[in-house]
Amino acid sequence: GAVVSQHPSRVICKSGTSVKIECRSLDFQATTMFWYRQFPKQSLMLMATSNEGSKATYEQGVEKDKFLINHASLTLSTLTVTSAHPEDSSFYICSATGGFQETQYFGPGTRLLVL
């Protein structure tokens, strides 16, 4: 199956700093990537949809200026958490798909802890 990687796997940062998370599709071209947030013992919450070469589409309630998404190529999308606060601590997961009716393949996730 298709492989999606995320880097870093975990990160600890100070409050007020910015953190960048990378999501890469390793063996296929991802026309669309998704960013999810998962709180402990809860389901995935879709944050935004990212299409290569265009602006990301954010879900209702997600601050686009806080969670900056860039999808510069068909294999890479980045999520930058700007001016991170402790309440941003969470598990962030990306997924990638090659197109409509294609399966979403998920990355292993990034654990963010903001002190």
Q: How far is the CB of 85 from other proteins (least distance, A)?
A: 23
Please pick, from the candidates 74, 76, 109, 113, the single residue that binds other proteins as defined by CB under 8 A: 109
Integer Cα distance of 25 and 75 in angstroms: 5
SS3 26: coil
The correct pick among 19, 79, 93, 114 for binding other proteins (CB under 8 A) is 93
Chain residues that interact with other proteins, rule: CB under 8 A:
1, 4, 6, 32, 34, 42-44, 46, 49, 91, 93, 95, 97, 99-109, 111
